[in-house]
């Protein structure tokens, strides 16, 4: 980290627990690369302290923005002065910019990072039919970003059907041009297949979908970063599918966050 001075700008990350977060390391390295006189600091805050911390951050002139992660992504929405339409629809914010007057602008970039990562990998989701496994926090953000990116058809398949139905209804309301359906574990008939569940993270996890429904014309994308080749990606490769790993979602998202918080141009 470069030497801090009275002019050093500050960014934060709000989380509980916080010891595992790697965003400060990544964004501090990015600032160094860009020659920014700034620093990102982990702010360990529990749910009970969120309101008062955020009120304090508003009056801190050298605080330019903060990243928000578990468990605060939902609670922060109502503490922002302005929230993008998409973040409002998802009901979660993960990046906040502090304007010079102290007002806070929130955005949700989990899904945008996934779409940017796909595009970086040469996969354009516009006008494509997409199968999405999962309806949790990550899947919600990705579903809205895919709808925003102009997919033609989106099939949501989740173990708990009520959650996929809820996601389908919210998507249909905000993106009437996208055909949204509830799917079975079989991903056949879709051009892009996405695992947005947490399955694959732990050894011995069941597969998130029926891999017998995969064929070589499909792209299979993961959100799991570790291991890099999940059981799903291995099975997809065996069937001749083009595969897309989880890592680009994170790297692209970090850059989007840095730009949104005006850390880098």
* Residues at the site binding ligand ATR, with contacts judged by CB under 6 A: 134-139, 158-160, 163, 197-199, 206
Q: How far apart are CA 44 and CA 13, in angstroms?
A: 8
Given a contact cutoff of 8 angstroms between Cβ atoms, the answer to whether 26 and 254 are in contact is yes
Q: Which is nearer to ligand ATR, 46 or 206 (CB)?
A: 206
Least distance (Å) from ligand ATR to the CB of residue 137?
Answer: 3
Pick 50 or 139: Cβ nearer ligand ATR:
139
Q: How far apart are CA 241 and CA 229, in angstroms?
A: 13
Handedness of CA 180, 92, 22, 28 (dihedral sign): positive
73 is catalytic: yes
- In whole angstroms, how close is the CB of 230 to ligand ATR at the nearest point? 13
Q: Which is nearer to ligand ATR, 159 or 174 (CB)?
A: 159
Q: How far is the CB of 28 from ligand ATR (least distance, A)?
A: 25
Nearer to ligand ATR, 107 or 110 (CB): 110
Residue 197 C-beta: closest distance to ligand ATR, Å: 3
CB of 114 to ligand ATR, least distance (A): 12
Alpha carbon distance 27, 54 (integer Å)? 21
How many other β-carbons are positioned within 10 Å of the β-carbon of residue 105?
19
Measured from the CB atom, the residue of 42 and 71 that comes closer to ligand ATR is: 71
* Residue that the structure tokens 């017998």 belong to: 212
Question: CA 109 to CA 88: how far, in whole Å?
Answer: 12
Backbone angles phi, psi at 138, to 5 degrees: -65, -45
Helix ranges restricted to H, 103-204: 110-120, 137-148, 161-174
CA–CA separation, 157 and 132 (whole Å): 6
Spot the catalytic one: 22, 64, 73, 259. Answer: 73
**What is the per-residue burial (b if ≥16 Cβ within 10 Å, else e) of 145-164?**
bbbbbebebbbbbbeeeebb
Active site residues: 73
């Amino acid at each position: 980290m470069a030497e801090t001075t009275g002019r050093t700008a500050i960014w934060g990350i709000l989380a509980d627990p916080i010891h595992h977060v790697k965003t400060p390391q990544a964004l501090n390295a990015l600032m160094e690369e860009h020659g920014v006189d700034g620093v990102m600091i982990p702010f360990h805050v529990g749910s009970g302290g969120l309101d008062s911390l955020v009120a304090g951050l508003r009056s801190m002139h050298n605080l330019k923005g903060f990243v928000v992660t578990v468990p605060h992504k939902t609670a922060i929405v109502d503490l922002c002065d302005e929230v993008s339409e998409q973040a409002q629809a998802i009901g979660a914010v993960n990046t906040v910019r502090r304007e010079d007057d102290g007002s806070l602008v929130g955005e949700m970039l989990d899904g945008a990072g996934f779409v940017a990562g796909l595009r970086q990998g040469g996969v354009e989701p516009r006008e494509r039919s997409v199968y999405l496994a999962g309806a949790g926090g990550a899947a919600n953000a990705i579903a809205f970003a895919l709808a925003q990116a102009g997919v033609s058809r989106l099939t949501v398949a989740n173990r708990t059907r009520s959650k996929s139905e809820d996601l389908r209804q919210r998507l249909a309301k905000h993106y009437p041009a996208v055909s949204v359906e509830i799917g079975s574990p079989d991903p056949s008939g879709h051009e892009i297949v996405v695992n947005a569940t947490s399955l694959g993270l732990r050894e011995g996890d069941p597969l998130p979908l029926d891999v017998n429904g995969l064929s070589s014309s499909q792209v299979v994308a993961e959100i799991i970063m570790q291991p890099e080749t999940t059981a799903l990606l291995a099975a997809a490769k065996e069937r001749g599918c083009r595969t897309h790993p989880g890592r680009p979602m994170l790297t692209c998202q970090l850059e989007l966050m840095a730009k949104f918080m005006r850390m880098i141009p």
